[in-house]
Amino acid sequence: MRDAAKFEALCRASHPSDGGIGTLREKTLHRVLKNWIEPRTCCREQPFSGFVVDILNEDGVTEIQTRGFFALRRKLEILLSQTPVRVIFPLPARRWVRWADPETGELSPRRLSPRRGDFFDAFYELMHVAPLLGHPQLTVELLLIDAEELRLCNGWGKGGKRGATRIELLPLALAGQCELHAPQDYAALLPPGLPDSFTCAALRAATRRSETLCRRALYTLERAGAVERVGKQGRALLYARTAPCAGTAGCGSITEETAGASQALADGEELD
């Protein structure tokens, strides 16, 4: 596993002062991760197969992706045909929020958000590259990070906070790591309390996540070869793990779990 102390040191060195949003540099999270994973500057931002990749070294290509996996899919298809690829995907665990005045740039005191993230949140984006997750040359590395989120009060409602713009997500510390390669690694993202066969509703109850996220998770897991459809319970599809896995403990390489807060449920149909 990677060095958490080194990551925290890089976070402190890259954190802006409290002088306001004018002191911020862009894409701090991406820069910190790139320097943490590959300290050699000659291996960063290198041309490869018609692209500029974040890291190119003796292990292959490493891409750091904070969002927008839909746009990453075509690039991955080309890269995977030529070299091993590792995708680094950071996810906020604990998040402290600060608000910036759009006129003065003055920042509010930090406030800890009640929302807690965990590895299961990765399915919001992994869905977009689901057909590639079983590729033998692809490894996905999930990182749970504590972060400070800077938001601009330029929205609507009281204080301009609804629909506000996120300026930057500043990393503070590493809270957990998880490496995904084989189907059983993806199956390890399922909560340990699920029965042998389960519905989307059962997954929702076990994860306390939205219906939308759970449906995306099942779609992704099925295409990664981690779960399969085994029948129906009434009108609901039944799923089961395709690889033996006794929850997250001892399966895959998850080093830490965090409990997720409840989210609003979303309506939807079963994904085919």
For residue 208, tell me if it sits in a domain.
no
Q: pLDDT tens digits, residue range 209-266?
A: 999 999 999 999 999 999 999 999 999 999 999 955 444 333 344 454 333 322 222 2
For residue 199, tell me if it sits in a domain.
no
122 token code pair: 């990765």
Place of tokens 């989307």: 200
Rounded-to-integer distance, Cα 36 and Cα 173, Å = 12
Rounded-to-integer distance, Cα 148 and Cα 124, Å = 21
For residue 153, tell me if it sits in a domain.
yes
| Structural domain containing residue 35 | 4-183
Q: pLDDT tens digits, residue range 41-62?
A: 999 999 999 999 999 999 999 9
For residue 252, tell me if it sits in a domain.
no
What pLDDT is attached to residue 255? Answer: 53
- Cα Dmax for the chain: 59
For residue 49, tell me if it sits in a domain.
yes
142 token code pair: 């999930």
Q: Is-above-0.85 flag for pTM?
A: no
Q: pLDDT tens digits, residue range 87-138?
A: 999 999 999 998 888 778 788 898 999 989 999 999 999 999 999 998 999 9
Burial class (CB in 10 A: 0-12, 13-18, 19+), 266: exposed
What pLDDT is attached to residue 258? Answer: 32
pLDDT level of residue 269 (50, 70, 90 thresholds): very low
For residue 193, tell me if it sits in a domain.
no
What does the mean pLDDT of the chain come to? 85
Rounded-to-integer distance, Cα 113 and Cα 151, Å = 13
The backbone torsions φ and ψ at residue 40, rounded to the nearest 5 degrees and listed phi first, read -80, 115
For residue 135, tell me if it sits in a domain.
yes
Please check the confidence at residue 157 and state whether its pLDDT lies above 80.
Answer: no
What pLDDT is attached to residue 238? Answer: 97
Number of domains into which the chain is organized: 1
For residue 158, tell me if it sits in a domain.
yes
